[in-house]
Structure 1
């Protein structure tokens, strides 16, 4: 396998944070605040995915249908890193995420490489 500059290989954790697009923290979108804080703390990487439709704890449907434009579409932030780094990041998330769902799952990193 090619060089692995981040040292991330084998067993890792996938952290998923499910939130609403309109959720905010410190004057900015919550998903943005989470990604910037993860980067600041040296986590391997983060991706923000925007959903077209979903519902959560309040059972309100959020959709991107043309006739029903929602200003609060579902957003998922995914972060993969070692168990140690992800576990250390969880208390930070607790202070940022007021509503939403946070999940963890074990994953196997096959490749983590920059160009």
Structure 2
């Protein structure tokens, strides 16, 4: 197995209709991660889900399909992720935030996380 690097994966669970300062929240979060020089971010759209309110969000029911669940995944070093969480805190509202230790096996052609 190639050399691995310890890192963290941050997951932010939000709704598609969530906003921050007039723009979609997922966009504001990804742009903030990019501005802070994090290794990368990905937004995943879920076809179905529910959260703290237990309200079902699904693409199968037209009236509920306007607020589908989104997960934003960001991977970087523990220090960079912790700094990002502090900076993004004012944006997050009622979203769920999780953090896990991960091992990065490969990042790009010849680079690892710095």
Alignment TM-score, normalising by the size of structure 2: 0.89
Equivalenced residues, count: 109
Query: Residue 6 of structure 1 aligns with which residue?
Result: none
Q: Is the 8 A contact 2:14 2:69 kept in 1?
A: yes
Distance in 1 between residues matched to 2:91 and 2:26, nearest whole Å: 10
Which ranges in structure 2 are unaligned for 5 or more consecutive residues?
Answer: none
Maintained 8 Å contact 2:32/2:88: no
Cα offset, 1:114, TM superposition: 5.1
Separation of aligned partners in 2, 1:84 and 1:97: 19
Q: 4+ runs of 1 displaced by more than 6 Å?
A: none
Q: C-alpha offsets along residues 4-57 of structure 1, whole Å, 9 cap, x if unaligned?
A: xxxxx5100000000000000011100000000000000000000000000001
Provide the alpha-carbon RMSD of the alignment. Answer: 1.9
Name 1:55's counterpart in structure 2.
50
2:19 maps to 1:24: yes
- Is the counterpart of residue 79 in structure 1 residue 74 in structure 2? yes
**Using the alignment, how far apart are the partners of 2:77 and 2:62 within structure 1?**
43
